[in-house]
Structure 1
Amino acid sequence: MSPRRLTWLVACLSMAYAPLAGALEFRSVKESGAVLYEAPALSAKKLFVVSRYYPVEVLSTQDAWARVRDATGAISWLPSAALSAQRWLLVVSERADVRTTPTAAGVAFSVPKNGVLQLMDPPSNGWVHVRHRDGSTGYASITDLWGL
């Protein structure tokens, strides 16, 4: 294949998959006790109750409802008003060691599995700048977190 044709093919594929690259929209629950439903209606079966800051991936919206996926892969519905634009990340490893710099430097603090950390800056080189609810900040490995 000629270099020119290969460049054209790569450009076409990039345009075709570009919408998928930006398709992930993560949001967080803004108040404790938010209910996840089986369908987009208050009369639908209640599936789970999630706590404040719990991150979800928004798959679609319908009227005042958001269809969401949680860290386990479960799909449910949540009133859109229960979602915050503020991003929180869920610790999915046994423990996330948050470091003082984005390297294997000293551990500033640790967060156990299912704990949450606020996203401060987009990930870079496998690390993400985060803040604990107590105000402590540092860098965590993206492999320890869900919601990016």
Structure 2
Amino acid sequence: MTLTRLIIGAVLSLACGAGLAADFKTVGTAPAVLYDAPSTKGHKLYIVPRGAPLEIVLAYGDWVKVRDVNGDTAWTPLRGLTAKRNVVARAANTKVRSAEDEASAVVFIADKGVLLELLEPGANGWTRVRHRDGLTGFVRSSEIWGN
């Protein structure tokens, strides 16, 4: 009986953890206007440039509450976001390497705030990314936001 309870508890634990994974979208071709409420009648707070990643916090009809790279939350219409995934370099001199290894060659260095396309989500603490110039490589998952 105790073993069964342990197994059920472990399965439920894993199921709950999977449901807590962050959901990210990217601002589409036009900049996104962020509001203080889920309506165009709300106050406009700020504009997020195209290509910027946003974390979906809550969905309400055709609107989503999002969190930006600075941790600020606001509302925006879901139709302005795309499933394409971009990430942002968190710090100056973020090294993008040729392989998932600190000893591998540096392909390029991204400055703080540089947008990178997410190619493959993090494995073993590394994420494969592409710069808009076409260069690709691996960056430590902890050094980017939006993954």
| Structure 2 residue aligned with 1:121 | 120
CA positional deviation for 1:7: 6.2
C-alpha contact (below 8 Å) 1:95/1:111 kept by paired residues: yes
Could you tell me which runs of 5 or more consecutive residues in structure 1 were left unpaired when the two chains were aligned.
none
Could you tell me which runs of 5 or more consecutive residues in structure 2 were left unpaired when the two chains were aligned.
none
Task: Give percent identity, aligned residues only.
Answer: 35
- For 1:2-30, what per-residue CA distance to the aligned partner results, in whole angstroms no more than 9, with x for missing partners? xx626623532541452343332111111
- Kindly report structure 1 stretches of 4+ aligned residues shifted beyond 3 Å: none
Report the RMSD for the aligned CA atoms in angstroms. 1.8
TM-score under structure 1 length normalisation: 0.88
C-alpha contact (below 8 Å) 1:95/1:144 kept by paired residues: no
Matches within 5 A, 1:58-69: 58-69=56-67
Distance 1:114 1:10 in 2: 44
- Judged with a 3 Å threshold, the aligned counterparts in structure 2 of structure 1 residues 37 and 7 are, in CA distance, closer, same or farther, namely same
| Structure 2 residue aligned with 1:9 | 6
Is residue 2:120 matched to residue 1:139?
no
C-alpha contact (below 8 Å) 1:57/1:68 kept by paired residues: yes
Please say which of residues 4-13 and 31-40 is displaced more in the overlay.
4-13
| Structure 2 residue aligned with 1:35 | 33
Is residue 2:50 matched to residue 1:52?
yes
1:18 to 15, 18, 33: 15
CA positional deviation for 1:74: 1.3
TM-score under structure 2 length normalisation: 0.89
